[in-house]
Copies of this chain bind each other. A is one copy, B any other.
């Protein structure tokens, strides 16, 4: 083999990514399998893996090889050049932090996350606040160090790790647009909804085992390959694992089958993205999913765009009826569709409909920016949350469990992640619209439970491109135009006002 600086870089990053994937599998186990008493030992394992990964990235040899490879870049192919760009990006993020901070962050996150589980269950913000304060101090140090290295503001430097290239100047106009559009729109939707028969949940209970079988049936229809993945149970549904072994989780509510089912369809969207990444670029930075906004677009495209469409609900209704041995008009597609299109302001983000969801995100975006900038103190967080929530959705959370304790993100050290959810919803609408224009047979195929045309388009336009392009380029190449919130708004109008 002809060794070049670039080929040696590939070998280094391959090794590092295998290490990161090992850590990812252990994080899946933490959430889905680990007994509570295993947390301290696991935190130790994860801290060691993170520090080793950081050492590989920041070793002097990595920098030398990056410099030498960039000098030979004109001789590289386009994927290789993109890979080199991603390596440099990761290197910039990594070298901004010293090993002590990486380890301290890993340990403080695990500690705070464990305390948060209890605090949330007991709605006791005061109990977790000291650990969150310790963690936030470290997060601020990280943000400042990265800001200096990347030439960004501290908050933007955090966002950039989740969604490369995304800036506050991109987010603000999009969120302001939505914040302006949604209140009146929501009012109109609620008024129209009140004038029509409400969707009703068919009578349960819905045994978890039957829900799981139905979920697996739907996953298989969409294209999930059980030779390369699993469905398990965890307190907080997520998608983990690696491309060849994707692990998704859900939780079952025996009084309401729709919640777990829609959750599974959502995670299946994530899973198909991971599974569709190009095998030739596995374990290389360019072979990874583009970013968290693009990832969320894939889950929302599946859950919100494809699987709440009249076509899919027509396919689903008889399967669901059969799975639970039901009968009667509540199992008709018309009723289920009204159920899945129900709009209702509520306190919990993960249960929100797609109309009110952006309000949840805008609130968190504003608060976390202020927290990172040290313009909001943790003492004032619950009050600021409740006030902000009331301004956006007209209701005040009765306790912190339904307020600032509900989400794991901050308590796990993930500041700067929230904006990607709503970016993902905008991208999902735009991609699904483009897919249907390119392949008009998609809706009818979905009505037969055949996702091949949709998945084929996604594999070609999104999954198979991995991180070769920026998010903006990827959206532009797939849909023919820059990201346009008008498509999302048109989707909402069509579904909630005109249908």
**Residues on A facing B (Cβ under 8 Å):** 15, 18-19, 21-23, 25-26, 29, 33-38, 40-42, 44-49, 52, 225-230, 241-245, 282-283
Contact = CB atoms under 8 A, between A and B. Distances in A.
Contacts of A242: 38, 41
Given A35-B230, A229-B35, A44 B18 contact: yes
A19 B52 contact: yes
B45 A225 contact: no
B42 A245 contact: yes
A243 to B, nearest CB: 7
Contacts of A35: 226-230, 245
A25 to B, nearest CB: 6
A36 B245 CA distance: 9
B230 A41 contact: no
A281 to B, nearest CB: 14
Nearest to A16: B48
Given A18-B45, A25-B45, 13 more contacts: A19-B45, A21-B45, A22-B23, A22-B49, A25-B42, A26-B26, A29-B29, A35-B245, A37-B244, A38-B242, A38-B244, A38-B245, A40-B244
A358 B164 CA distance: 62
Contacts of A45: 18-19, 21-22, 25
Q: How many copies make up the complex?
A: 2
Main secondary structure of the interface of A (DSSP, over half): helix
Contact of A227 (B26, B36, B244): B36
Contact of A21 (B23, B41, B227): B41
Nearest to A42: B245
A38 B283 contact: no
Contacts of A228: 35, 37-38
A44 B17 CA distance: 10
Contacts of A46: 22
A19 B47 CA distance: 10
A245 B15 contact: no
A226 to B, nearest CB: 6
Contacts of A19: 45, 48-49, 52
B26 A225 contact: no
A25 B29 CA distance: 9
Looking at A37, A229, A242, which has the most chain B CB atoms within 10 Å of its CB?
Answer: A37
Contact of A26 (B25, B33, B226, B282): B25
Contacts of A18: 44-45, 47-48
A263 to B, nearest CB: 20
Nearest to A45: B22
A49 B26 CA distance: 13
Contacts of A40: 244
Contacts of A245: 34-35, 37-38, 41-42
A288 to B, nearest CB: 14
B48 A15 contact: yes
What 6 A-B pairs have minimum CB-CB distances, sorted nearest first?
A38-B245, A37-B228, A37-B227, A22-B45, A18-B48, A41-B244
Contact of A283 (B21, B29, B44, B226): B44
Nearest to A22: B45
Nearest to A23: B22
A231 to B, nearest CB: 11
A52 B53 CA distance: 11
Looking at A35, A36, A227, which has the most chain B CB atoms within 10 Å of its CB?
Answer: A35
Contacts of A36: 227
A44 B33 CA distance: 22
